[in-house]
Amino acid sequence: MRIAAIADFHFSPQIHDRVRDNLNRVRTEADVLVLAGDLTNFGRPEEMESLLNVLVRLRIPTIAVLGNHDYESGHAAALMKMMTDEGVKVLDGTAYERDGVGFAGTKGFPGGFGRGALTAFGEPEVKAFVQGAIDEALKLERALSQLRTAKRVVVLHYAPIADTVKGEPPEIYPYLGSSRLAEVVDRHGADLVVHGHAHAGSPEGKTTAGCPVYNVAMAINQSQPGGSVYRIFEV
């Protein structure tokens, strides 16, 4: 299966034509399109409606998770319904199998990596923040547990490892992802993990167990040879 992956459209109606033109060849180059969050700029239904006008015309199976920008205006549930109604498979702690390949996805959450990960100690506000990261890891655990396929693809918005956020200011690493997600991936195994969010991060890395992780933020994809807004993977 050829998978085209992209994150961080930050779509608004003003960039409709540019996004449409950049995606017009994806159906000839890939079997599936994966969108790893921050599909809209402010999480507004009108932004999603305009993006869906582009996506539906591509006529390619599409799988997506939401990102933090998609939650900004409090319409995340409405955005997911809009996508689902148009045939987009939205993953939110859920799984989807197609042609022998399993996809498991969730948004993810900040919290930091390795020994720098924030722990649930101290003020209630800190504990609530850490619980958000734990909840997203549990959602990914549930999604991966549902898969029965030999090949597995994990779709996230936040990074599961620090290597793919390198290039961003070190001070903001804890806000770019959580290694709790990588721990889940390593327990279940994955042939491919994609995420976005870290626009100035690095294109690839690996989990502790060696699962390949790719940052497919649009800006990073465009910096790679060929300069496409999406990156193609084969699983």
The pLDDT tens digits of the residues spanning 80-104 come to 999 999 999 999 999 999 999 999 9
The runs of H, that is alpha helices, within the chain are 16-23, 26-29, 45-58, 76-85, 124-146, 179-188, 218-223
Q: Give the confidence band of 19 by pLDDT, cuts at 50, 70, 90.
A: confident
Span 187-201, mean pLDDT?
A: 97
The size of the chain, in residues, is: 235
Percent helix / strand / coil, the chain, rounded to 5: 40, 25, 35
Rounded Cα gap, residues 66 and 190, in angstroms: 20
pLDDT digits (tens, 9 = 90+) for 38-79: 999 999 999 999 999 999 999 999 999 999 999 999 999 999
Q: What is the predicted pLDDT for the residue at 226?
A: 83
Q: Is the pLDDT of residue 227 over 90?
A: no
Q: What is the predicted pLDDT for the residue at 13?
A: 84
The residue to which tokens 């991966």 are assigned? 144
- CB within 8 Å of 71: residues ≥ 6 apart: 43
Rounded to two decimals, the pTM is 0.96
Rounded Cα gap, residues 56 and 132, in angstroms: 33
Span 30-37, mean pLDDT?
A: 98
- CB within 8 Å of 43: residues ≥ 6 apart: 69, 70, 71, 72, 73, 74, 75, 76, 79
Angular region, 191: left φ>0, alpha ψ -120 to 50, beta rest: alpha
Domains and CATH numbers, the chain: 2-234 (3.60.21.10)
Task: Report CA torsion sign: 93, 166, 8, 131.
Answer: positive
